[in-house]
Structure 1
Amino acid sequence: MMNRRMASWALFTATAGALALPLHAAEQATPKVQLKTSLGTIVVQLDPAKAPKTVENFLQYVKDKHYDGTIFHRVINGFMIQGGGFTPDMAQKPTRAPIPLEAKNGLKNDEYTIAMARTGNPDSATAQFFINVKNNDGLNAPSPDGHGYAVFGKVVQGQDVVDKIKAVATGNRGPYQNVPTTPVIIESATLLP
């Protein structure tokens, strides 16, 4: 009798766990992050299936509150809006180690997608990201530099906010170009439930 109860309990536990796993996996399959900016709210849906290291990296910066109080420091209408690395006084925030490039994941630098910024070194992305404001085929892997830029999600809410940001007046600030004359602040970045 005891063995039958234990076997039934084990079967119930295994079945309940198996049933719960897909629900949890589905919740994690497409995490969403809310970027509350001084011009409105943007929600990005991430794609960890196609860009697992990039999504993990971005989410860690979100959890660490790294993006809170940073700005969109580079805005080029007809190209992209870039943020996540500087404070309003143009102080660069410290970052963790760079991550490997995941540009050959099948995702394209299309309008309203989010991708990681990097230097000329393909494996140099840290915290800075950009949102494409048009289809930027020249950034897809392999791009003219042979590498491309890793797309890891897309804007699913707040496209109008992206459009507001891309239209702001910009100028030079110290050695930096295309800096909004009025800072566009990322007030908070939050993983949505």
Structure 2
Amino acid sequence: MPPSKSERERDYERRRHQAWQRRQAAKAAERRRRRNTAIAATLVVVVLAGIAVVAWFSFRPSAADEAAAPGASPSAAATTSASPPANACPAPTSTPDASATQLSSAPDPSVAQGRTWAGTLVTSCGDIGVELDGAKAPRAVASFVTLARDNFFNGTPCHRLTTSGIYVLQCGDPTGTGTGGPGYTFGPVEAAPSDNVYPAGTIAMARRGSDGDSQGSQFFLVYQDSTIPSDTAGGYTVLGRITSGLDVVQRVASAGDDGSNGPGDGKPTTPISIEQVTVQ
């Protein structure tokens, strides 16, 4: 006996409802797929950001300890250049004085005279004009002026360059190893920026991490705005600024470093030495 009309209608409605359910299930599955894809993408971003933060803070102690140490300098992760650019400066022709000044104690802050000093770093790559603030950083300026007058910096290489995160060229070590100094240390930290930002052109003293009394002869030249975190000793003594010749430092930085202290941290690929320092 053939199905009645009502049975055919019910069967038709049932099949149509089942088709509707299948469409709804397919739509729900597609929504879940898109949501899961979005979640996965977000997790990837979060993980990558976490890796970047970990990488930065993994390098930060070295940057704070060594960039600040009398025998070391700031470090940071970066890609280095394999060879200098076509306009790189000529190789240094001088060497450190074997009888460089070694003092038993730091010069008295009064040597800074509480005034502004003008000077020039005569380097193998070109002259760098500087201005030193003896009012804001009397201990650091007194030390720098005394060493400059004693020809302590003559022939000394700028031994370390960092090229990412922290952008500095560190100089002032007569041994060129990152461990040398004038025979004394001094402190505490003077005139450090409260926001930890060191603008391009800043001249600051290096020291050991968390030791504000470990400043010596090493200093760093900031060639690009840098944020250098403070530690328990504070920030880093700002003794002055570059007034001309910042492009000299930037030219050296553009050639990169040799990665001898890790990626983006090592000796400048283009060697640079201080031939003489004049102050007045």
Q: TM-score higher than 0.5 here?
A: yes
Instruction: Identify the residue that residue 159 of structure 1 maps to in structure 2.
Output: 246
Relative to structure 1, the CA distance from residue 53 to residue 129 in structure 2 (aligned partners, 3 Å threshold; closer, same or farther) is same
Contact persistence 1:43–1:156 (CA under 8 A): yes
Contact persistence 2:163–2:256 (CA under 8 A): no
Q: Which structure carries more relative contact order (alpha carbon 8 Å, separation 6+)? A: 1
Q: Could you say what secondary structure the match of 1:118 adopts?
A: coil
Q: Distance in 2 between matches of 1:138 and 1:115?
A: 11
**Structure number with larger C-alpha Rg:** 2
Percent identity reads: 32
Q: When you count strand as a share of all residues, which structure comes out higher?
A: 1
Instruction: Identify the residue that residue 5 of structure 1 maps to in structure 2.
Output: none
Q: Distance in 1 between matches of 2:215 and 2:279?
A: 21
Instruction: Identify the residue that residue 127 of structure 1 maps to in structure 2.
Output: 217
Instruction: Identify the residue that residue 183 of structure 1 maps to in structure 2.
Output: 271
Relative to structure 1, the CA distance from residue 125 to residue 37 in structure 2 (aligned partners, 3 Å threshold; closer, same or farther) is same
TM-score (structure 2 length as normaliser): 0.52
Q: Distance in 2 between matches of 1:86 and 1:92?
A: 9
Alignment of 1:40 with 2:126, yes or no, is: yes
**Residue 184 of structure 1: CA displacement?**
0.7
Q: When you count helix as a share of all residues, which structure comes out higher?
A: 2
Q: Distance in 2 between matches of 1:94 and 1:81?
A: 17
Instruction: Identify the residue that residue 4 of structure 1 maps to in structure 2.
Output: none
Deviation string 1:99-128 (CA, Å, 9 cap, x unpaired) is 112334558622111000011222101000
Structure 1 unpaired stretches of 5+: 1-26
Q: Distance in 2 between matches of 1:35 and 1:174?
A: 26
Segments ≥4 residues shifted beyond 6 Å: none
Q: Distance in 1 between matches of 2:136 and 2:114?
A: 13
Q: Which residue of the other structure, out of 158, 164, 172, is the alignment partner of 1:84?
A: 172
Aligned residues: 161
TM-score (structure 1 length as normaliser): 0.73
Contact persistence 2:257–2:267 (CA under 8 A): yes
Contact persistence 2:252–2:270 (CA under 8 A): no
Structure 2 unpaired stretches of 5+: 1-112
Deviation string 1:37-75 (CA, Å, 9 cap, x unpaired) is 111000110011111111001111111111100011001
Relative to structure 1, the CA distance from residue 114 to residue 91 in structure 2 (aligned partners, 3 Å threshold; closer, same or farther) is closer
Contact persistence 2:133–2:141 (CA under 8 A): yes
